[in-house]
Amino acid sequence: MRAWLPFLEWAPVYSKSEAANDLLAAVIVTIMLVPQSLAYAMLAGLPPHVGLYASILPLVAYAIFGTSRTLAVGPVAVVSLMTAAAAGQVAAQGSALYLEAAVVLALLSGLILVAMSILRLGFLANFLSHPVISGFISASGILIAASQAKHILGVPAAGDTLYEIVRELVPSLGSANPYTLAIGVGSVVFLFWVRTRLKPLLVTAGLKPRAADMIAKAGPVVAIVTTIGAVILFGLDARGVKIVGEIPAGLPPFGTPSFNPQLWWDLLPAAVLISLVGFVESVSVAQTLAARRRQRVVPDRELTGLGAANIAAALSGGYPVTGGFARSVVNFDAGAETPMAGVFTAIGILAATLLLTPLFRYLPQAVLAATIIVAVLSLVDFAAMKRIWTYSRADFAAMAVTILAVLFVGVEAGIVAGVGLSLALFLYRTSRPHVAIVGQVPGTEHFRNVKRHDVATSPDLLSIRIDESLYFANARFLEDTIYDAVATRPELKNVVLMCPAVNLIDASALESLEAIAQRLGAAGVGFHLSEVKGPVIDALRRSDFFSHFKGEVFLSQHEAVRELSPQTPTPVQLAAARNMRARATRTG
Amino acid sequence: MRAWLPFLEWAPVYSKSEAANDLLAAVIVTIMLVPQSLAYAMLAGLPPHVGLYASILPLVAYAIFGTSRTLAVGPVAVVSLMTAAAAGQVAAQGSALYLEAAVVLALLSGLILVAMSILRLGFLANFLSHPVISGFISASGILIAASQAKHILGVPAAGDTLYEIVRELVPSLGSANPYTLAIGVGSVVFLFWVRTRLKPLLVTAGLKPRAADMIAKAGPVVAIVTTIGAVILFGLDARGVKIVGEIPAGLPPFGTPSFNPQLWWDLLPAAVLISLVGFVESVSVAQTLAARRRQRVVPDRELTGLGAANIAAALSGGYPVTGGFARSVVNFDAGAETPMAGVFTAIGILAATLLLTPLFRYLPQAVLAATIIVAVLSLVDFAAMKRIWTYSRADFAAMAVTILAVLFVGVEAGIVAGVGLSLALFLYRTSRPHVAIVGQVPGTEHFRNVKRHDVATSPDLLSIRIDESLYFANARFLEDTIYDAVATRPELKNVVLMCPAVNLIDASALESLEAIAQRLGAAGVGFHLSEVKGPVIDALRRSDFFSHFKGEVFLSQHEAVRELSPQTPTPVQLAAARNMRARATRTG
Residues 290-329 of A with CB under 8 A from B: 291, 299
> Is residue A584 in some structural domain?
no
B203 interface with A at CB cutoff 8 Å = no
Q: What is the mean pLDDT of chain B?
A: 87
Select from A73, A27, A547 the least CA-distant residue to A319. Answer: A73
Radius of gyration of chain A (CA): 31
Q: Tens digits of per-residue pLDDT, B325-358? A: 888 888 888 888 888 999 999 999 999 888 888 8
Range B199-211 burial, b when 16+ CB lie within 10 A, else e: beebeeeeeeeee
* Judgement on whether residues A444 and A380 belong to the same structural domain of the protein: no
* Judgement on whether residues B316 and B343 belong to the same structural domain of the protein: yes
pLDDT reported for residue A229:
92
> Is residue B430 in some structural domain?
no
* Judgement on whether residues A413 and A476 belong to the same structural domain of the protein: no
Say if the Cβ atoms of A130 and B446 lie within 8 Å: no
- Cα separation, A336 vs A295, in Å, equals 14
What mean pLDDT comes out for the span B117-129? 86
- Cα separation, B130 vs B112, in Å, equals 23
pLDDT reported for residue A212:
83
**At A80, which amino acid appears?**
S
Comparing A1-5, B350-354, B541-545, which segment has the lowest mean pLDDT?
Answer: A1-5
Q: Is the bond preceding residue B569 a cis peptide, omega within 30 degrees?
A: yes
CA angle B94, B185, B366 (to 5 degrees): 20
C-beta of residue A260 within 8 angstroms of C-beta of residue A108: no
pLDDT reported for residue B75:
94
Give the pLDDT band (50/70/90) at residue A1: low
A17 interface with B at CB cutoff 8 Å = no
> Is residue A63 in some structural domain?
yes
pLDDT reported for residue A294:
66
Interface probe for B, chosen from A388, A467, A561 (most Cβ of B below 10 Å), is A467
Size of interface A-B (CB pairs under 8 A): 207
Q: Which of B291, B501, B510 has its CB closest to that of A503?
A: B501
Q: How many residues can be counted in chain B? A: 588
Contacts of B469 in chain A (CB under 8 A): 430, 468
pLDDT reported for residue B571:
43
- Cα separation, A297 vs A65, in Å, equals 12
Q: Which DSSP state fits A505?
A: B
C-beta of residue A365 within 8 angstroms of C-beta of residue A244: yes
Residues 6+ apart with CB under 8 A from A31: A217, A218, A221
* Judgement on whether residues B350 and B491 belong to the same structural domain of the protein: no
What mean pLDDT comes out for the span B97-107? 95
pLDDT for residue B287 is more than 70: yes
Q: Which of A391, A468, A476 has its CB closest to that of B542?
A: A391
Q: Is the bond preceding residue B299 a cis peptide, omega within 30 degrees?
A: no
* Judgement on whether residues B392 and B462 belong to the same structural domain of the protein: no
> For the purposes of burial, counting CB atoms within 10 Å of the CB of B158, is it exposed (0-12), middle (13-18) or buried (19 or more)?
exposed
What mean pLDDT comes out for the span B379-408? 92
Contacts of A543 in chain B (CB under 8 A): 387, 390-391
> Is residue A587 in some structural domain?
no
CA angle B302, B304, B309 (to 5 degrees): 95
The model's pTM is 0.82
Q: Tens digits of per-residue pLDDT, B192-243? A: 998 888 888 888 888 888 788 778 877 888 898 999 999 999 988 888 888 8
Say if the Cβ atoms of B130 and A507 lie within 8 Å: yes
* Judgement on whether residues B502 and B443 belong to the same structural domain of the protein: yes
- Cα separation, A527 vs A530, in Å, equals 10
Q: Tens digits of per-residue pLDDT, A259-276? A: 889 999 999 999 999 999
Q: Tens digits of per-residue pLDDT, A460-485? A: 899 999 888 899 999 888 988 898 88
pLDDT for residue A295 is more than 80: no
- Cα separation, B282 vs B300, in Å, equals 12
- Cα separation, A190 vs B86, in Å, equals 63
Contacts of B544 in chain A (CB under 8 A): 387
> Is residue B6 in some structural domain?
no
Choose one of B370, B388, B421: the last residue of a domain: B421
**ipTM computed for the complex:** 0.79
The partner residues of B448 in beta bridges, in order of sequence, read B439
pLDDT for residue B576 is more than 90: no
Distance from CA of A404 to the nearest CA of B (A): 19
Distance from CA of A501 to the nearest CA of B (A): 4
Distance from CA of A364 to the nearest CA of B (A): 42
> Is residue B447 in some structural domain?
yes
pLDDT for residue B584 is more than 50: no
Count of CB atoms situated within 10 Å of the CB of A12 = 7
C-beta of residue B403 within 8 angstroms of C-beta of residue B133: no
* Judgement on whether residues B356 and B441 belong to the same structural domain of the protein: no
Contacts of B503 in chain A (CB under 8 A): 430, 433-434, 467-468, 501
Containing A527, the helix (H) or strand (E) segment is strand A526-530
User: Which residue is closest to A541 within chain B, CA to CA?
Assistant: B391
Q: Tens digits of per-residue pLDDT, B13-37? A: 888 888 888 998 898 888 888 888 9
CA distance readout (Å), B114 to A339, A510, B272, B533: 62, 31, 12, 38
- Cα separation, B511 vs B491, in Å, equals 27
User: Which residue is closest to A523 within chain B, CA to CA?
Assistant: B294
Say if the Cβ atoms of B537 and A448 lie within 8 Å: no
pLDDT reported for residue B447:
87
Interface probe for A, chosen from B120, B124, B126 (most Cβ of A below 10 Å), is B126
What mean pLDDT comes out for the span B365-385? 89
Residues 355-414 of B with CB under 8 A from A: 387-388, 390-392, 394-395
Residues 6+ apart with CB under 8 A from B209: B199, B203
The percentage of chain B sitting over the pLDDT mark of 90, rounded to a whole number, equals 36
Distance from CA of B531 to the nearest CA of A (A): 8
- Cα separation, A529 vs A494, in Å, equals 11
Q: Collapsing DSSP states into helix, strand and coil, what is residue B107? A: helix
Say if the Cβ atoms of A392 and B506 lie within 8 Å: yes
Interface probe for B, chosen from A387, A441, A472 (most Cβ of B below 10 Å), is A472
pLDDT for residue A140 is more than 60: yes
pLDDT for residue B588 is more than 90: no
Distance of CA B135 to the CA centre of its chain: 9
Give the pLDDT band (50/70/90) at residue A567: low
Count of CB atoms situated within 10 Å of the CB of B469 = 27
C-beta of residue B302 within 8 angstroms of C-beta of residue B279: yes
pLDDT for residue A584 is more than 50: no
A534 interface with B at CB cutoff 8 Å = yes
Q: How many domains are contained in chain A?
A: 2
Interface probe for B, chosen from A128, A276, A391, A444 (most Cβ of B below 10 Å), is A391
* Judgement on whether residues A445 and A413 belong to the same structural domain of the protein: no
Q: Tens digits of per-residue pLDDT, A88-107? A: 999 998 899 999 999 999 99
- Cα separation, B109 vs B279, in Å, equals 10
- Cα separation, A178 vs A186, in Å, equals 12
Choose one of B421, B444, B461: the last residue of a domain: B421
C-beta of residue A552 within 8 angstroms of C-beta of residue A527: no
Interface probe for A, chosen from B298, B386, B503, B545 (most Cβ of A below 10 Å), is B503
- Cα separation, B71 vs B65, in Å, equals 12
> For the purposes of burial, counting CB atoms within 10 Å of the CB of A547, is it exposed (0-12), middle (13-18) or buried (19 or more)?
exposed
Contacts of A123 in chain B (CB under 8 A): 428, 431-432
- Cα separation, B162 vs B138, in Å, equals 13
Residues 6+ apart with CB under 8 A from A204: none
pLDDT reported for residue A63:
92
> Is residue B429 in some structural domain?
no
**More confident: B295 or B165:** B165
C-beta of residue B284 within 8 angstroms of C-beta of residue B80: no
* Judgement on whether residues A571 and A504 belong to the same structural domain of the protein: yes
pLDDT for residue A582 is more than 60: no
pLDDT for residue A134 is more than 60: yes
Q: Which of A131, A390, A468 has its CB closest to that of B542?
A: A390
A124 interface with B at CB cutoff 8 Å = no
- Cα separation, B229 vs B236, in Å, equals 10
C-beta of residue A282 within 8 angstroms of C-beta of residue A66: no
Residues 6+ apart with CB under 8 A from A556: A445, A530, A531, B441, B444, B446
Q: Which domain holds residue B447?
A: 435-580
Beta strand residue intervals within B333-471, DSSP E: 435-440, 447-449, 461-466
Contacts of A448 in chain B (CB under 8 A): 555
pLDDT for residue B173 is more than 90: no
Q: How many residues can be counted in chain A? A: 588
Q: Which DSSP state fits B198?
A: I
User: Which residue is closest to B451 within chain A, CA to CA?
Assistant: A534
What mean pLDDT comes out for the span B269-279? 93
User: Which residue is closest to A127 within chain B, CA to CA?
Assistant: B473
- Secondary structure percentages of chain B, helix, strand, coil, to 5: 65, 5, 30
pLDDT for residue B398 is more than 90: yes
Choose one of B399, B421, B443: the last residue of a domain: B421
pLDDT reported for residue B257:
81
Q: What are phi and psi of A218, to 5 degrees?
A: -85, 0
Q: Tens digits of per-residue pLDDT, A339-391? A: 899 999 999 999 988 888 888 888 999 998 998 898 888 888 899 899 899 88
- Cα separation, A408 vs A401, in Å, equals 10
Count of CB atoms situated within 10 Å of the CB of A214 = 22
> For the purposes of burial, counting CB atoms within 10 Å of the CB of A262, is it exposed (0-12), middle (13-18) or buried (19 or more)?
exposed
Give the pLDDT band (50/70/90) at residue B586: very low
CATH number at residue A478: 3.30.750.24
* Judgement on whether residues B521 and B457 belong to the same structural domain of the protein: yes
Q: Which of B387, B467, B533 has its CB closest to that of A503?
A: B467
Say if the Cβ atoms of A392 and B539 lie within 8 Å: yes
* Judgement on whether residues B535 and B496 belong to the same structural domain of the protein: yes
Say if the Cβ atoms of B130 and A390 lie within 8 Å: no
Report the Cα–Cα distance between both ends of chain B, in Å, rounded.
Answer: 50
Say if the Cβ atoms of A508 and B553 lie within 8 Å: no
Report the Cα–Cα distance between both ends of chain A, in Å, rounded.
Answer: 50
Distance from CA of A428 to the nearest CA of B (A): 9
**At A342, which amino acid appears?**
G
What mean pLDDT comes out for the span A316-335? 88
> Is residue B169 in some structural domain?
yes
* Judgement on whether residues A395 and A440 belong to the same structural domain of the protein: no
